[in-house]
Amino acid sequence: MQLPQAELKANTQKLLLLALLDAAGSVLVGVGLYGKFAEPPAWLGVLGDTEQTNYLLAFGGATMGLCWWRFIGLMRECKRQPGQ
Q: What pLDDT score was predicted for residue 64?
A: 96
| Total domains present in the chain | 1
Task: Please indicate, yes or no, if residue 52 is contained in any of the structural domains.
Answer: yes
User: Quick check: pTM over 0.85?
Assistant: no
- Region label for 49, one of left (φ > 0), alpha (ψ between -120 and 50) or beta (otherwise): beta
Q: How far apart are CA 66 and CA 72, in angstroms?
A: 10
Which residue segment(s) compose the domain that 48 sits in? 24-79
Average pLDDT value over all residues in the chain: 85
- Check: CB of residue 70 under 8 Å from CB of residue 15: no
Task: Please indicate, yes or no, if residue 5 is contained in any of the structural domains.
Answer: no
Q: What is the pLDDT of residues 29-64, one digit of tens each?
A: 999 998 888 876 667 777 888 899 999 999 999 999
